[in-house]
C-alpha cells in the first residue's frame, strides 16, 4: 500500500512561526505523518512534562517528581506513540504511569485517582485506524484550556527547553499500572444506584473493536445484565471498521437478531454512545439528553433546570424542556465547549447529538458507559421500554450532509454557497435554521438544515451540498 501523502499543517498565527498542531480536540491526523509522528510525540512529551511540572509548583502540589498517566485505544500506532511520548516525558525528569487500552474517560478518571499531574490519551476517537491523536487532561480530569495547549505547542517549536537534560537518577521512570481497568469499572458502576441491578435486562453491545472492549461488557455483567457483545476482538486495524457508533446500522442489526431490549454502541475511545431501542430504532444523543434531562428535572437534580447542548441539537429539545419548566443553553459544536459552559454556569448535564454526553455528577468528560447507565437506570426504575421513553422528544426534521473536502476555504470566499444558504434561510422564514461549518478533526464540511417540512429541507440540503461538491469537494 502506498504511503499517504504528507498533510500540510494549517498556517495559523500563534507565536510559533505560523505552525499549529493542536486542533479542536488535541493533536490529530494520520499516524506517522506530521504532526502525529514519533518525533513530534517525543517533543510533546518533553513540553508537557515541563508545563505540568511548572503548574504543579504553582498549585502547591510539588511534593516530589511530576507524574503523567498515558492511556490509549486499540490502534496499531498507539504502541509507537506511547513509547515516544513516554520517552519525552522521562527525558525531562518526570515519571510515566502506563495504563494500556482504556476509554478516554477512564484515562481522565485514573489521572484523578492516582493523583497524577496530568493525563494523556492516544486516540482518534471515531476516525479510522490509520489516524491517531494525542489529548491531554489536567490533574482534575478536565481537558486542557487553550492557554495551556498554546504553552505546550510553543515549547515544541521554540527549543526553549532543549537544554533541560536531567541525568543519572533525575531521569524519569515508567511504571505499568495493572489495575487501571478494575479501577475504572468500579468508578463507572458508582454512577448506577447501589440498591438496583440490571437483572433480567437483555443488552446488546457494540464496542467498535475499541478501548471499551473489556470495560463496558465487564461493567454491564457486574450489574447483572444479560449481554450480547459484538466487535470486541481488536487487532490494531479494525477499530471503528463498519461497527460502532459511526455505523449504527450494526447495533440495529444485532438488537433485531438477538431480540435485545436495548442496544449500546460506542465509538473507538468510548467517550460517546448511541443507543438502540427494542424495535431496532436508533436513539441519538438528543433523545438520550431529553430522557435524562426530564428524569433529572423530575427528581430535582438538574442544576438550574438547565441542559447544555450545541447548536447542532434539534430544536425539539428546547421545546421539550420548556414544557417541563426547563431550558437549553446552546454552545458551539464540540464537547469542550459544552464542558466549558457547564463549568462556567455550574451545570451538571450536557452533550451533543453525536452521543457525547457529560454527566458532571459522575465524570469530568464524555463517558459512553456512564451515559448509557443513566438511561438503563431510568428504564429499570420506570419499567418503560426505550421506545416509549424516547417519545418524549418531538423532533424537527433535519437534513444533514457530511462532505469530504480537498481544502477548507473560508466560507465567505464561496459566494455561490453563501447565497444558497441565505436563500434557504429566507425560505425557512424563521421556522428552521441552516448550519454550515468545517469539521475540526477531519477534512470535511458539515451541513445541517432544520425545518418543519422534511422533503423540502432535503431538497435544499442537496442543492447546497451539490454546490459545495463542485467547488471544493473531493
Tell me if 199 is assigned to a ligand binding site. no
Written as nine digits, the cell of 50 is 515541563
Tell me if 267 is assigned to a ligand binding site. yes
Instruction: Report the distance separating Cα 144 and Cα 37, nearest Å.
Output: 21
> Is residue 91 flagged as an active site residue?
no
Q: What are phi and psi of 85, to 5 degrees?
A: -60, -45
Task: Give residue 203's region: left, alpha or beta (phi > 0; psi -120 to 50).
Answer: beta
Number of other CB atoms surrounding residue 44 within 10 Å: 28
Tell me if 269 is assigned to a ligand binding site. yes
Helices (H) and strands (E) in the chain — how many of each?
A: 14, 18
Written as nine digits, the cell of 10 is 494549517
Task: Give residue 377's region: left, alpha or beta (phi > 0; psi -120 to 50).
Answer: alpha
Q: What is the distance between the terminal CA atoms of the chain, rounded to a whole angstrom?
A: 21
Report CA dihedral (255, 258, 262, 265) to the nearest 10 degrees. -50
Tell me if 131 is assigned to a ligand binding site. no
Q: Which of 56, 91, 123, 125 is catalytic?
A: 125
Written as nine digits, the cell of 78 is 498507539
At 354 the three-state DSSP class reads coil
Task: Calculate the alpha carbon distances from 213 to 74, 146, 217, 219 in Å.
Answer: 9, 32, 7, 11
The total number of residues shown for the chain amounts to: 474
Number of other CB atoms surrounding residue 454 within 10 Å: 12
Cis, bond preceding 35 (omega within 30 deg of 0): yes
Ranges of H-type helices in 92-228? 104-113, 146-158, 180-189, 215-222
Q: Which residues are catalytic?
A: 125
- Binding-site residues for Mg(2+), please? 125, 267, 269, 271
Amino acid at each position: 500500500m502506498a504511503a499517504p501523502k504528507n498533510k500540510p499543517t494549517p498556517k495559523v498565527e500563534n507565536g510559533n512561526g505560523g505552525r499549529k498542531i493542536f486542533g479542536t480536540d488535541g493533536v490529530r491526523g494520520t499516524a506517522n505523518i506530521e504532526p502525529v509522528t514519533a518525533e513530534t510525540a517525543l517533543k510533546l512529551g518533553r513540553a508537557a512534562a515541563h508545563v505540568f511540572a511548572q503548574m504543579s509548583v504553582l498549585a502547591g502540589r510539588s511534593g516530589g517528581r511530576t507524574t503523567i498517566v498515558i492511556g490509549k485505544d486499540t490502534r496499531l500506532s498507539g504502541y509507537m506513540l506511547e513509547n515516544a511520548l513516554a520517552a519525552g516525558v522521562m527525558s525531562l525528569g518526570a515519571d510515566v504511569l502506563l495504563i494500556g487500552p482504556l476509554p478516554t474517560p477512564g484515562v481522565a478518571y485514573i489521572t484523578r485517582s492516582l493523583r497524577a499531574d496530568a493525563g494523556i490519551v492516544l486516540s482518534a476517537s471515531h476516525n479510522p485506524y490509520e489516524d491517531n491523536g494525542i489529548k491531554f487532561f489536567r490533574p482534575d480530569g478536565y481537558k486542557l484550556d487553550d492557554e495551556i495547549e498554546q504553552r505546550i505547542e510553543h515549547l515544541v517549536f521554540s527549543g526553549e527547553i532543549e537544554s533541560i537534560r536531567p541525568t543519572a537518577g533525575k531521569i524519569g521512570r515508567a511504571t505499568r499500572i495493572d489495575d487501571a481497568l478494575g479501577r475504572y469499572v468500579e468508578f463507572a458502576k458508582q454512577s448506577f444506584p447501589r440498591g438496583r441491578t440490571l437483572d433480567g435486562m437483555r443488552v446488546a453491545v457494540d464496542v467498535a473493536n475499541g478501548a471499551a472492549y473489556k470495560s463496558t461488557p465487564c461493567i454491564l455483567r457486574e450489574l447483572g445484565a444479560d449481554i450480547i457483545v459484538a466487535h470486541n476482538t481488536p487487532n490494531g486495524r479494525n477499530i471503528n471498521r463498519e461497527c460502532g457508533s459511526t455505523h449504527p446500522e450494526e447495533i440495529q442489526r444485532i438488537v433485531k437478531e438477538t431480540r435485545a431490549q436495548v442496544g449500546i454502541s460506542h465509538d473507538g475511545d468510548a467517550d460517546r454512545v448511541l443507543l438502540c431501542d427494542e424495535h431496532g430504532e436508533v436513539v441519538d444523543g438528543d433523545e438520550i439528553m431529553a430522557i435524562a434531562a426530564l428524569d433529572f428535572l423530575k427528581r430535582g437534580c438538574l442544576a438550574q433546570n438547565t441542559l447544555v447542548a450545541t447548536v447542532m441539537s434539534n430544536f425539539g429539545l428546547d421545546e421539550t424542556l420548556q414544557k417541563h419548566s426547563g431550558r437549553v443553553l446552546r454552545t458551539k459544536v464540540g464537547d469542550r465547549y459544552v464542558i466549558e459552559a457547564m463549568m462556567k454556569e455550574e451545570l451538571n448535564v450536557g452533550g451533543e447529538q453525536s452521543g457525547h454526553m457529560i454527566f458532571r455528577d459522575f465524570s469530568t468528560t464524555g463517558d459512553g458507559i456512564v451515559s448509557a447507565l443513566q438511561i438503563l437506570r431510568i428504564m429499570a426504575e420506570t419499567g418503560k421500554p426505550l421506545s416509549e421513553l424516547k417519545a418524549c422528544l418531538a423532533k424537527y426534521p433535519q437534513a444533514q450532509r457530511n462532505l469530504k473536502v480537498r481544502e477548507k476555504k473560508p466560507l465567505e470566499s464561496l459566494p455561490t454557497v453563501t447565497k444558497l444558504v441565505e436563500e434557504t434561510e429566507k425560505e425557512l422564514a424563521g421556522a428552521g435554521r441552516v448550519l454550515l461549518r468545517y469539521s475540526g478533526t477531519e477534512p470535511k464540511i458539515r451541513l445541517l438544515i432544520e425545518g418543519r417540512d422534511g422533503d423540502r429541507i432535503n431538497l435544499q440540503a442537496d442543492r447546497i451540498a451539490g454546490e459545495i461538491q463542485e467547488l471544493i469537494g473531493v
